[in-house]
Amino acid sequence: MTEPAYVAVDWGTSSFRLWLVDRAGKVLAERRSGEGMLAAAKTGFAAVLQAHLAAVEAPDHLPVLICGMAGAKTGWVEAGYVDTPAPLAAILKQAARVPGEARDIRILPGIAQRDAAAPDVMRGEETQLLGALGLQAAGEAMVCMPGTHSKWVHVKDGTVASFSTFMTGELFSVVSRETILSLAVANAEDAEDVSSFRAAVKAAFEAPAFAANLLFGARARQLLFGGTPAAARETLSGTLIGVELAAGLSGAVPKAGITLVASGRLAALYRLAFDTLSVTVQQVEADEAVRRGLSMAAAAIWTK
Amino acid sequence: MTEPAYVAVDWGTSSFRLWLVDRAGKVLAERRSGEGMLAAAKTGFAAVLQAHLAAVEAPDHLPVLICGMAGAKTGWVEAGYVDTPAPLAAILKQAARVPGEARDIRILPGIAQRDAAAPDVMRGEETQLLGALGLQAAGEAMVCMPGTHSKWVHVKDGTVASFSTFMTGELFSVVSRETILSLAVANAEDAEDVSSFRAAVKAAFEAPAFAANLLFGARARQLLFGGTPAAARETLSGTLIGVELAAGLSGAVPKAGITLVASGRLAALYRLAFDTLSVTVQQVEADEAVRRGLSMAAAAIWTK
């Protein structure tokens, strides 16, 4: 086993991931837990981090680089924002040092769009972007990063020109749990229902204003025509994703298509949605992208 | 005091209203409570009704006419649906008698749109429509009935041609309570913020696909530019109503404008939204409309 060079941490709202990395960028050890910002704000950020560092036997002198909500005002140490137009390279230069710690611990800043007509913020996705596109990416990319708060990012020659956040994942969560649709999707099996999903994506993409009507239709369809809870769930999911795509694809799409930064089930759903609309997609694994972004930043800060 | 002729009940999902009415349609007594379908399904519909009848000293022989969710499958007695195209007059003829009761108690049916591409149902609004438009309404009307599940109804010569339900009110409720926007609207004073509301209505009406982005913007705006919780709440409200109006007004609007069946704060908000879009509105009081509809039905059934 080679010597560890630094520790990389993706510290989100509700998840914590840590990698022990060597000078060449190779992962020597990994930790995952649910101790995101919300949990760590109660138990203490330093204590959470220290426990995971001890578990991977990280030497005392080893520096730690963090991205994500740990850098929010309600996080550990506020790491500020790089404002749009934001060169991805600027992120590396504005990491905030955590004070009062013997160890060199830094948190990468987010990106802010200080446009009164379209205010927006991201924390963590800037590091994913760095890993997905690299520092020197020439040309244009439209990057779709699905999640609780999906981001659509317009990147030009390595600079984030503008971006938009959509509450798609969070809407799916509250609508399926807390509204009349909870009756429709209750006890849905894991089985997919591709045709319901595709139909919903198409309907919502073509008439996004009817989103709140298409959602209710999932319940009315069950009352009048029957249908499985899985079909209702896929209709709900397809409707919300279809509306997001209607907005995201409303501008010019680069020739190379959309860069989809996603993993797992979410990646599969969005690929299916883009396919339904005959839109070309290049997928980048989200988990790898954030680790690669952190590694690039750590290399720039400590191992150059 | 004149003799009571019948009892009219509007029995919704979460509210119960009862009126003691004389032969001329005059209200002799009124009761309101939170014992809607959800509560009554636990305590028993007959018991809830009997307690209110006793409170207004309704004679034993007095008939009772009910509209709303008490007639749903999960209600007291399933009252079925009249299918679209649904003549409002047909509602009067399909009231379901509650079995096993000495008293003559009937529940009015809802309306179903058995269209596989746009399935929809209403229960209670059909009686409001009857009261708002009357039985013999000639010509066309586009009726907007805001609420937890807003209805937009196309009525032609006294017949419901088609309708669409929007989960606007329910979305407002869950988004303001259960998502990241709960941080933005927390402790909002009652003070209105008309300019935030109007701006949100306009933005959502013009770009409904961006609804989930405009919602997140209410939070991002606060983070980057400050702003009151009331402004965030009005942005949330205006966005959801603006999207609903984009859909509702996407077809042809009758020359007379939109018939708005609403009461109280909801009526004020929707009037403001329509005004922002320069759409003519004729308002009908929702509370009066449902009572008038029940009275018309009761008169047709018992006092003709």
Q: Is A221 helix (H, G, I), strand (E, B) or coil?
A: helix
- Using an 8 Å CB-CB cutoff, list chain B residues near A244: 209, 212
CB spacing of A174 vs B170 below 8 angstroms? no
CB spacing of A121 vs B223 below 8 angstroms? yes
Per-residue pLDDT at B172:
96
Rounded CA-CA distance A108/A81 in Å is 9
- pLDDT, tens only, B99-153: 999 999 999 999 999 999 999 999 999 999 999 999 877 889 999 999 999 999 9
Question: Which residue is closest to A164 within chain B, CA to CA?
Answer: B213
Q: What average pLDDT does the segment A219-240 reach? A: 94
Q: What's the CATH number where A54 sits?
A: 3.30.420.300
Residue A86 per-residue DSSP state: E
Residues facing residue A154 across a β-bridge:
A142, A162
Per-residue pLDDT at A124:
96
If asked whether residues A107 and A28 sit together in one domain, one would say: yes
A14 pLDDT above the threshold of 90: no
> Among partner residues A170, A210, A225, which is closest to B116 by beta-carbon distance?
A225
Q: What average pLDDT does the segment A132-137 reach? A: 86
B1 pLDDT above the threshold of 80: no
Sheet holding B96-97, edge to edge: B27-33, B16-22, B4-11, B64-68, B105-107, B96-97
CB spacing of B168 vs A212 below 8 angstroms? yes
A137 pLDDT above the threshold of 90: no
Q: Would you say residue B162 lies in a domain?
A: no
If asked whether residues A101 and A176 sit together in one domain, one would say: no
Residues facing residue B36 across a β-bridge:
none
- pLDDT, tens only, A239-252: 999 999 999 999 88
User: Which structure tokens are listed for B187?
Assistant: 């402790």
Q: What average pLDDT does the segment B230-239 reach? A: 96
- pLDDT, tens only, B86-114: 999 999 999 999 999 999 999 999 999 99
Per-residue pLDDT at B304:
59
Q: Would you say residue B67 lies in a domain?
A: yes
Domain count, chain A: 2
Question: Which residue is closest to B181 within chain A, CA to CA?
Answer: A167
- Using an 8 Å CB-CB cutoff, list chain B residues near A166: 212-213, 216
If asked whether residues A266 and A296 sit together in one domain, one would say: no
Q: What average pLDDT does the segment B240-248 reach? A: 98
> Among A153, A148, A152, A167, which residue's Cα sits nearest to residue A12?
A148
Q: Would you say residue B163 lies in a domain?
A: no
Q: What average pLDDT does the segment B277-304 reach? A: 92
Per-residue pLDDT at B241:
98
If asked whether residues B173 and B128 sit together in one domain, one would say: no
Percent of chain B with pLDDT over 90: 86
Is B220 at the interface with chain A, CB within 8 A? yes
Q: Would you say residue A112 lies in a domain?
A: yes
> Among A81, A93, A89, which residue's Cα sits nearest to residue A121?
A81
Q: What average pLDDT does the segment B161-184 reach? A: 95
Q: Would you say residue B291 lies in a domain?
A: no
Return the higher-pLDDT residue of A171 and A183: A171
B64 pLDDT above the threshold of 70: yes
**Can you tell me which residue has the tokens 């694994």?**
A285
If asked whether residues A197 and A271 sit together in one domain, one would say: yes
If asked whether residues A111 and A189 sit together in one domain, one would say: no
If asked whether residues B54 and B174 sit together in one domain, one would say: no
A158 pLDDT above the threshold of 90: yes
Percent of chain A with pLDDT over 90: 86
Dihedral over Cα of A230, A232, A238, A241: its sign: negative
Question: Which residue is closest to A118 within chain B, CA to CA?
Answer: B217
If asked whether residues B212 and B269 sit together in one domain, one would say: yes
Rounded CA-CA distance B244/A151 in Å is 24
Residue-by-residue DSSP string for chain B: -PPEEEEEEEE-SS-EEEEEEETTS-EEEEEEES--HHHHHHH-HHHHHHHHHHHTT--TT--EEEEEGGGSTTSSS---EEESSEEHHHHHHTPEEPTT-SS-EEE--EEEE--TTS-EEESSHHHHHHHHH-TT--SEEEEEE-STTEEEEEEETTEEEEEEEE-HHHHHHHHHHHSTHHHHHTT--S---HHHHHHHHHHHHH-GGGHHHHHHHHHHHHHHH---HHHHHHHHHHHHHHHHHHHHTSSPPPTT-EEEEE-HHHHHHHHHHHHHTT--EEEEEHHHHHHHHHHHHHIIIII-
Q: What average pLDDT does the segment A246-263 reach? A: 93
Angle at B143 between CA B141 and CA B148, to 5 degrees: 170
Per-residue pLDDT at A1:
65
Per-residue pLDDT at B218:
95
A54 pLDDT above the threshold of 90: yes
Q: What are phi and psi of B83, to 5 degrees?
A: -85, 145
CB spacing of A223 vs B180 below 8 angstroms? no
Percent of chain B with pLDDT over 70: 98
pLDDT tier, B25 (very low <50, low <70, confident <90, very high otherwise) = confident
Q: Which B residues, 246 through 265, put their C-beta within 8 Å of a C-beta on chain A?
A: 246-247, 250
Give the up-direction half-sphere exposure of residue A79: CA atoms within 13 A in the CB hemisphere.
32
Residue A291: in which H helix or E strand, if any? helix A286-298
Question: Which residue is closest to A199 within chain B, CA to CA?
Answer: B117
Bond into A85 cis (ω within 30): yes
pLDDT tier, A38 (very low <50, low <70, confident <90, very high otherwise) = confident
If asked whether residues B23 and B123 sit together in one domain, one would say: yes
Q: Would you say residue A149 lies in a domain?
A: no
A71-A77-A81-A86 Cα dihedral, nearest 10 degrees: -70
Q: What's the CATH number where A196 sits?
A: 3.30.420.310
pLDDT tier, A138 (very low <50, low <70, confident <90, very high otherwise) = confident
If asked whether residues A130 and A28 sit together in one domain, one would say: yes
- Using an 8 Å CB-CB cutoff, list chain A residues near B168: 212
Q: What average pLDDT does the segment A157-184 reach? A: 95
If asked whether residues A292 and A259 sit together in one domain, one would say: no
A110-113 and A120-122 strand pairing: antiparallel
If asked whether residues B173 and B279 sit together in one domain, one would say: yes
Q: What average pLDDT does the segment A20-24 reach? A: 92
Is B44 at the interface with chain A, CB within 8 A? no
Q: Would you say residue B58 lies in a domain?
A: yes
Q: Would you say residue B113 lies in a domain?
A: yes
The chain-wide mean pLDDT, for chain A, equals 94
Surface-to-core class of residue A85, CB atoms within 10 Å of its CB (0-12 exposed, 13-18 middle, 19+ buried): middle
- Using an 8 Å CB-CB cutoff, list chain A residues near B179: 167, 170-171, 174
Q: Give the domain extent around A252.
A: 168-285
Q: What are phi and psi of B166, to 5 degrees?
A: -120, 130
Per-residue pLDDT at A304:
59
